[in-house]
Amino acid sequence: MFIMFTILVYLPNTCPSALQELVCPGAEPRWSFAELIHAVVLMAHAHSLCSFVWGCSLNPEPDHIGGYTFQLPSPSHLPRCPHSPAHEDGRQELVDGVMEVEVLMQRMVELQQQEEECTQEEMVTRFERERSESIPTAVVRGAPPDLVLRLVEEPEFRYEDFAPRGEQSPPTMRAQDYSWEDHGFSLVNRLLPDMGQLLDEKFQVVSNLTYNRMAMHEGVDTHTLRKALWNYIHCLYGIRYDDYDYGSVNVLLERSLKVFVKTMACHPEQTTARIYHAFWRHFRHSEKVHANLIVMEARLQAALLYTLRAITHYMR
């Protein structure tokens, strides 16, 4: 089960081998499929919740390494003179931020009105490009502190980027072949009815959640942006939707947002305040937390899909 736990954290697409060891008859009592799904749901929730906590830019306690400290305000935090260079820079930054929001809103409208249809080959190419060229983690990996190492058996086990195009990489999971709506929900609901229904409602709530607001604008349809976030996270884990144009991801998700999403979804312990504050600079914190919820639930669903697909194949 420890191996299964580790795989679910970083490489959920490689879970079939670990699954076989748990359900095959042997020296140790085997797990029932209902017990295994129950355990996987609990583990996947713990993993995704860790991403959410780190992604909200929560600070460690003072007695932890890197914990916050209490400091008096520095002179740089005192009110600025209205005509000082620093004040003028702040006004220019505000203007630039407003323009960034306007550009993003215009792109969303254009994508919603777009009637161009791409060939299936082009759609696959765009997905592969997005998957293989996904932005690398910006933070240098350091050794976990001793406080953490005491609880970790394989600290070197980490998420691995997909290989560049043309090189060997794990196979893609086509959502049309195995999705939560058509396959995963049915399996969980059959073995654990209450849990299947709760998970489905949870995914639906986060997928449809919106305040129709973007930064200083209200009455905005954010569906296109929310869908791009969800599909980008699944793309990081090798899940492809045949009917989705992954060119939209590059249009709607700025580089700093991609860095944040990938760090939070794949290396949550490396999330920093700098990464958190670098994207959507003029959005409310509540809007960033909304994005964190999408990352958390999309990551949870990706881990569940790989495991449930392996269980479905094993049961046949």
Determine the structural domain holding residue 32 and report its residue range.
2-62+93-315
Q: Tell me the pLDDT tens digit for each residue of 148-189.
A: 666 666 666 666 665 555 555 567 889 999 999 999 999 999
Q: Using an 8 Å Cβ cutoff, are 51 and 299 in contact?
A: yes
The sign one gets for the Cα dihedral 269, 273, 277, 278 is negative
Number of domains in the chain: 1
Q: Does residue 237 lie within any of the structural domains?
A: yes
Mean per-residue pLDDT over the chain, rounded: 78
pTM (whole model) above 0.85: no
* Tokens standing for residue 184: 């995963």
- The set of long-range contacts for 169-173, using a CB threshold of 8 Å and a minimum separation of 24, is 169/132, 170/13, 170/14, 170/238, 171/13, 171/238, 172/127, 172/131, 172/238, 172/239, 172/240, 173/13, 173/238, 173/239, 173/240, 173/305, 173/306, 173/309
Residue 108, sorted as left (phi over 0), alpha (psi -120 to 50) or beta, turns out to be alpha
Average pLDDT on 42-56 reads 89
Q: Hey, what's the torsion of the CAs at 77, 82, 88, 92, to 10 degrees? A: 90
For residue 81, being part of any structural domain is answered with no
The tokens describing 218, both together, are 């209200």
Question: Which residues, 6 or more positions from 83, have their beta carbon under 8 angstroms from its beta carbon?
Answer: none
Query: What is the model's pLDDT at position 189?
Result: 93
Residue 67 covered by a domain = no
116-120, 265-269, 274-278: least confident range: 116-120
Residue 76 belongs to some domain of the structure? no
* Nearest residue to 246 via CA among 145, 172, 141, 180: 172
Q: What CA–CA distance (Å, rounded) separates 279 from 256?
A: 5
151, part of any domain: yes
Asked if the model's pLDDT at residue 89 lies above 70, the reply is no
> Does residue 226 form part of some domain?
yes
Q: How confident is the model at residue 70 (pLDDT cuts 50, 70, 90)?
A: very low
Whether residue 289 has pLDDT greater than 90: yes
